[in-house]
Amino acid sequence: MIALLGAALVVAVAVLVRQRTQARTLSAQLEAAALEQQRLQQSCARFAPAYVIDRIATDGIESSAERKEITALFADIVGYTSLSERLDAPVLAKLLNGYYQRMSDAISAHRGHVSTFLGDGILAYFGAFEPNPWQSDDALKAALAMRRALDDYNRELEADQLPRLAIGIGLHRGMVLAGLVGSRERTEYACVGRTVNVAARVQALTREHSVDVLLTEEVRARLDPSFRLRPLPATPVKGIAEPVVTWTVTESA
């Protein structure tokens, strides 16, 4: 009888040990899964707002689409084609990477989101990731910060005996369709619509007006009055029915 009780106790202890081992293993797996989910959410947050990621997880990619008002910033290097033909590929890549980093830092510091690099161009959004009633102020502050950052970078380029860079920046505000768009192979959070196209067209006008920053009336109307602006003549723009009135900025008070 004692032997039977001892054997039963051994079996019970073995079962208990196995259950505790399984519980610890399951707990470790759950913890690892939670950490992985957190890592993925943090990674995804770089490409889409957190609430969009949550909505996608529940309702699918199409649920990410929404209409919202944003300020779009489009920047481009002046004379990039000739520059790219003069420099060796490794030198050009290093120069571009330094430029992209400094411009991206200036945009991020003012609550902007760099959407994509288009050749030598940069497309950024303000007010796309979170509600921002000061989005146009932030966009123009980012443009001025980009101007200062480029001045600093040009001093570094000159010290390395490399050509200085010049940029044009266009700003426009309006409604877009925002959400995850793309193919099965590549999907990104983007803002689609006339607002982005106008920002790119306005950027191109910086060459015509010989300035580095231009903004539309839609942006100017929502700016803090401390910015010092100068109006420029209305100019016909391809794809837009009426000539576009733009403003350039010198500094903020």
To 5 degrees, how large is the angle CA 167–CA 46–CA 100?
20
Q: What is the pLDDT of residue 55?
A: 58
Query: Comparing 130 with 110, which gets the higher pLDDT?
Result: 110
State mean pLDDT over 100-114: 96
Query: Comparing 13 with 75, which gets the higher pLDDT?
Result: 75
pLDDT band at 27 (very low <50, low <70, confident <90, very high): confident
Q: What is the pLDDT of residues 208-233, one digit of tens each?
A: 999 999 999 999 999 999 999 999 99
pTM attached to this predicted model: 0.77
Are the C-beta atoms of residues 246 and 215 closer than 8 Å to each other?
Answer: yes
Give the residue among 94, 81, 174 at the shortest CA–CA distance from 121.
Answer: 81
CA distance 106 to 115: 14
pLDDT band at 32 (very low <50, low <70, confident <90, very high): low
Q: What is the pLDDT of residues 155-198, one digit of tens each?
A: 999 999 999 999 999 999 999 998 877 787 877 778 899 999 99
pLDDT band at 39 (very low <50, low <70, confident <90, very high): low
Q: What is the pLDDT of residue 43?
A: 44
Give the residue among 147, 166, 150, 169 at the shortest CA–CA distance from 213.
Answer: 169
Instruction: Note every long-range contact of 193-197, with CB atoms under 8 Å and residues 24 or more positions apart, other chains counting.
Output: 195/70, 195/72, 196/72, 196/74, 196/123, 197/239
Residues 6+ apart with CB under 8 A from 61: 180, 187
State mean pLDDT over 85-99: 94
Q: Domains in the chain, please, with CATH?
A: 61-252 (3.30.70.1230)
Query: Comparing 14 with 23, which gets the higher pLDDT?
Result: 23
